[in-house]
Amino acid sequence: MTAEAGNGLADDSGRWAIIDIGSNSVRLVIYDGPRRAPFPICNEKALCGLGRDMDDGGALNAQAVDGALAILARFKTLLREHGDPPTRVVATAAVREARNSTDFVKAVERIGFQIDVIPGAEEARLSGLGVISFEPGASGLVGDMGGGSLELIRIENGAIRETTSLSIGPLRLMQHSKGDLKFAAGEVDQALAGVSWLRRFDTPSLFAVGGAWRAIARINMQLRRHPLSVLHHYEAPARQVKETCDLVARQSKSSLEEIPGVSSKRVDTLPFAAIVLRSLMNAAECDRLIVSAGGIREGLLFDGLPAEVRAQDPLIAGARFLGRRFSPNAEIGDAVAAFTAPLFRDEAEAHRRLRLAACLLTDAGAYFHPDLRGVQAFDTALRAPFYGVTHPERAAIALSLFCRHEGANAAAPEPQILALLSEDERRRAVQVGLALRFASAFAPKAPLAIRAASLSVDGDRLTFRAPSNLRPLMDDAASRRLDALAGAFGLKATTAFG
Closest by CA position to 233, among listed 153, 303, 315, 349: 315
Closest by CA position to 208, among listed 136, 159, 266, 280: 280
Closest by CA position to 344, among listed 334, 335, 355, 357: 355
In this predicted model, what pLDDT tens digit does every residue of 211-230 receive, in sequence order?
Answer: 999 999 999 999 999 999 99
In this predicted model, what pLDDT tens digit does every residue of 155-178 receive, in sequence order?
Answer: 999 999 999 999 999 988 998 898
> What are 289's strand-pairing partners?
206, 236
Q: Supply the pLDDT for residue 426.
A: 98
Q: Supply the pLDDT for residue 175.
A: 87
In this predicted model, what pLDDT tens digit does every residue of 279-306 receive, in sequence order?
Answer: 999 999 999 999 999 999 999 999 989 9
Mean pLDDT computed over 143-151? 92
Angle between helices 423-442 and 476-488 (to 10 degrees): 160
Backbone φ and ψ of 153, nearest 5°:
-140, 130
Mean pLDDT computed over 92-118? 95
pTM of structure? 0.92
CB 55 within 8 A of CB 76: no
Mean pLDDT computed over 246-274? 86
- State the CATH architecture for 16-117: 2-Layer Sandwich (3.30)
Domain 121-298 has CATH 3.40.50.970: no
Using CA of residue 307, residue 313, residue 314, residue 317, what is the dihedral sign? negative
CATH number assigned to the domain covering 313-497: 1.10.3210.10
Mean pLDDT computed over 421-450? 98
In this predicted model, what pLDDT tens digit does every residue of 19-57 receive, in sequence order?
Answer: 999 988 999 999 999 989 999 999 999 999 898 877 666
Q: Supply the pLDDT for residue 5.
A: 31
Domain ranges of the chain: 16-117, 121-298, 313-497
Question: 16-117 and 121-298 share one CATH topology?
Answer: yes
